[in-house]
Amino acid sequence: MRIFIYECVSAGGLGPIVPPSLLREGRAMLDAVVADFRRLPGIEVVTIPDETLCDAFSTAAARCDWTLVIAPEVDGLLRSRCQAVLDAGGRLLGSQPGAIGLTADKLATAEFWQERGVPHPRTQALDATHIASFPPPWVMKPRCGAGSQATFLIRHQDDAMRVWAPAFQECPDEEFIVQQYVRGQAASVSLLIGAKQTLALMPTRQHLSHDSRFRYLGGSLPLPESLANRAARLVLQAVAGIDGLHGYVGVDLILGDDGLDFAIEINPRLTTSYIGLRQLCRENIAEVMLKIVQGETVQTLTWAAKEVRFGIPAFEPIP
Pairwise CA distance, residues 256 & 276, whole Å: 23
What is the per-residue pLDDT across 189-241, written as a single tens digit (0 to 9) for each?
999 999 999 999 999 999 999 888 898 889 999 999 999 999 999 999 999 99
| 11 neighbors 53 (Cβ within 8 angstroms) | no
| 294 neighbors 247 (Cβ within 8 angstroms) | no
Q: What is the dihedral of CA 166, 168, 171, 177, to 10 degrees?
A: 110
Number of CB atoms found within 10 A of residue 163's CB: 18
pTM: 0.92
What is the per-residue pLDDT across 73-125, written as a single tens digit (0 to 9) for each?
988 999 999 999 999 999 999 999 999 999 999 999 999 999 999 999 999 99
Q: What is the dihedral of CA 66, 70, 73, 79, to 10 degrees?
A: -20
Domain boundaries, the chain: 2-94, 122-180, 182-317
Q: What is the mean pLDDT of the chain?
A: 91
Pairwise CA distance, residues 50 & 8, whole Å: 9
Q: What size, in residues, is the chain? A: 319
Q: Does the domain formed by 2-94 have CATH 3.50.50.60?
A: no
Instruction: Please tell me if the domain spanning 2-94 has the same topology as the one spanning 122-180.
Output: no
| 42-45: long-range contacts, CB 8 A cutoff, minimum separation 24 | 42/1, 43/1, 43/2, 43/3, 44/1, 44/2, 44/3, 45/2, 45/3, 45/5
**Domain 122-180: which topology?**
Dna Ligase; domain 1 (3.30.1490)
Per CATH, the number for 182-317 is 3.30.470.20
